[in-house]
Amino acid sequence: MVEKTKGVVSKLPVNQILSAIIEDGLELNASFIHLEPINNLIRIKYRVDGSLINGPEISKKRLNSLSDKIKNLANIQTGYIDLISGGKFKYSHKDQEFSIRIYIMPTIDGEKITLRVQSNMPVVTTLKELGFWGNGLDVINQAINLNSGLILVTGPSDSGKSKTIASLLESIIDHSISIATLEDPVEYKISRATQTQINHRTNLSFKNGIKILLKQDNDIIMLSELANSESIVEALDIVGHKKLVVSSLNVESSVEAITKLLDYGISPSSLAYGLRIVINQRLVRRLCPNCKQYITPDKTSLHKINQLFDLDNATSMKYVHSQEVEYYQSISTDEKHNHKSLSTSENKLKKIWINNPSGCSDCHHTGFMGRIAVVEILKNSPEIERLIMTKSKDILINRQAVKEGMINYLVDGLIKVLIGETTIDEIISLTKSNYLT
Ligand SMILES: [Zn+2]
């Protein structure tokens, strides 16, 4: 499964073992590499697209020398490490430079070492490539070209919010617009913006940064995250200065963003008039285009899908079919060739895409390649403004948003299963803490 470390890794000198482990991780595009000492072995595991892949097992006799080597690379005195902040070192692979941060936890079986891998030049892609399409994409494009207002990108941790914000700012067509950011930390290089890292040591807080940016006559201000009520008040204050603000919030749904801000004590009128759109998203694994399979689901799976999305109801079925048609029409002719045909008719679901369980060499035999966002986009409207002003329940705001065209993120996920981007199991895994309306 894992190329370089297969087989003989335990016999190699420690330098080579470590390079093999790291290079396998980089080839797999892993975000974390775990070295877990359990009994007599060190188990290597790679976090790839949100899931763990098992690597080789190495004799635990090599743990101390591996640990010393890693600490050495990070310039940490052997035998001592700041457990909380860890250390880091740079690693070059195929002309690309990576930053590898180390976290070490002493366990009863020895040190458990986790390496967090970050590319020094993460790629910003288009919103379409991230998973936005159709009417939702049009709504975003209109909002980002407005003169003022608040655009929120929301979702749980590790849902790709920063990448969406970076792509959003890159997508602005008008080059005469001045864009500035205040970030903690800066994660992506945005060619359209002047970016600033928050630095508490030099008193460059969000609050002070905003004061300067307002004086500097910027059109769009991006704040990396609204972490507390104070920052939200500041963001809405910038909107009051006729600026467009783009920021993120850690919540589970678009509607929850609204209710959470109201719970923070934000004035309903400033939110109702300031808010333009709320994007909510989370990431699912993307099917490997080379080995994905197009199948007729068996009775049990079909029943499960019909039940989850209420597809035995003619109106729901027709709605899902119309969304699949819209997605199909939004993709290019080249992409259409890969999608064979529509997976639904007006009255039934016929086929779905699944991962090939044994995968292929392109996807390291996982059946998946990268991740795609499952999204919902709530657009503010006179009726939603009214619901915000009266502090209505989230379910009422959600119902109104769906009535006005918002596609629930789980339905968006189902469309992505029908069109061949992900699997139904990936979407079902998102339902555990959520509800459909
Ligand atoms: Zn494959």
Domains of the chain: 9-119 (3.30.450.90), 127-281+376-403 (3.40.50.300)
Distance (Å) from CA 364 to ligand 1 centroid:
7
- The 10s digit of each residue's pLDDT in 200-223 is 888 999 999 999 999 999 999 999
Q: Averaged over 293-320, what is the pLDDT?
A: 94
Distance (Å) from CA 314 to ligand 1 centroid:
36
- The 10s digit of each residue's pLDDT in 1-21 is 454 555 556 678 888 999 999
Q: Which of the four pLDDT bands, split at 50, 70 and 90, describes residue 338?
A: low
Residue 402's pLDDT is 95
Given a contact cutoff of 8 angstroms between Cβ atoms, the answer to whether 224 and 248 are in contact is: yes
Q: Which of the four pLDDT bands, split at 50, 70 and 90, describes residue 346?
A: very high
CA angle 420, 403, 272 (to 5 degrees): 110
Distance (Å) from CA 288 to ligand 1 centroid:
5
| CA-only gyration radius of the chain, Å | 24
Structure tokens at 423: 């699997």
Distance (Å) from CA 290 to ligand 1 centroid:
5
Distance (Å) from CA 113 to ligand 1 centroid:
30
Neighbours of 2 (CB within 10 A): 20
Residue 1's pLDDT is 44
Distance (Å) from CA 418 to ligand 1 centroid:
18
User: What backbone phi and psi angles, to 5 degrees, belong to 148?
Assistant: -155, 165
Please give the torsion angle defined by the CA atoms of residues 183, 188, 194 and 198, in that order, rounded to the nearest 10 degrees: 20
Distance (Å) from CA 369 to ligand 1 centroid:
7
Distance (Å) from CA 132 to ligand 1 centroid:
23
- The 10s digit of each residue's pLDDT in 59-103 is 999 999 999 899 888 877 655 555 665 688 999 988 888 989 998
Structure tokens at 321: 């079919």
Neighbours of 107 (CB within 10 A): 11
H-helix or E-strand spanning residue 48: strand 41-48
Given a contact cutoff of 8 angstroms between Cβ atoms, the answer to whether 378 and 254 are in contact is: yes
Distance (Å) from CA 30 to ligand 1 centroid:
17
- State the Cα–Cα distance between residues 339 and 132, nearest whole angstrom: 17
- State the Cα–Cα distance between residues 65 and 361, nearest whole angstrom: 33
Distance (Å) from CA 50 to ligand 1 centroid:
17
Residue 8's pLDDT is 58
Q: Averaged over 133-159, what is the pLDDT?
A: 94
Is 50 exceeded by the pLDDT of residue 325? yes
Distance (Å) from CA 34 to ligand 1 centroid:
24
Is 70 exceeded by the pLDDT of residue 189? yes
Distance (Å) from CA 355 to ligand 1 centroid:
8
Handedness of CA 286, 287, 289, 290 (dihedral sign): positive
Report strand pairing: 110-119 vs 96-107: antiparallel
Is 90 exceeded by the pLDDT of residue 123? no
- State the Cα–Cα distance between residues 385 and 312, nearest whole angstrom: 34
- State the Cα–Cα distance between residues 320 and 436, nearest whole angstrom: 14
- State the Cα–Cα distance between residues 82 and 63, nearest whole angstrom: 19
Residue 118's pLDDT is 86
Distance (Å) from CA 282 to ligand 1 centroid:
23
Distance (Å) from CA 296 to ligand 1 centroid:
20
- State the Cα–Cα distance between residues 60 and 39, nearest whole angstrom: 8
pTM of the predicted model as reported, rounded to 2 decimal places: 0.83
Q: In what order do the strands lie in the sheet with 41-48?
A: 51-59, 41-48, 32-38, 110-119, 96-107, 87-93
Distance (Å) from CA 357 to ligand 1 centroid:
9
Structure tokens at 279: 């994007």
Residue 71's pLDDT is 87
Alpha helices in 293-332 (DSSP H): 299-308, 314-330
Exposed / middle / buried, residue 401 (Cβ in 10 Å: 0-12, 13-18, 19+): buried
Task: Between 83 and 339, name the one with better pLDDT.
Answer: 339
User: What backbone phi and psi angles, to 5 degrees, belong to 411?
Assistant: -65, -40
Q: Averaged over 225-235, what is the pLDDT?
A: 88
Q: Which of the four pLDDT bands, split at 50, 70 and 90, describes residue 290?
A: very high
User: What backbone phi and psi angles, to 5 degrees, belong to 39?
Assistant: 55, -120
Given a contact cutoff of 8 angstroms between Cβ atoms, the answer to whether 149 and 221 are in contact is: no
Residue 142's pLDDT is 96
Structure tokens at 98: 């990576």
Residue 332's pLDDT is 75
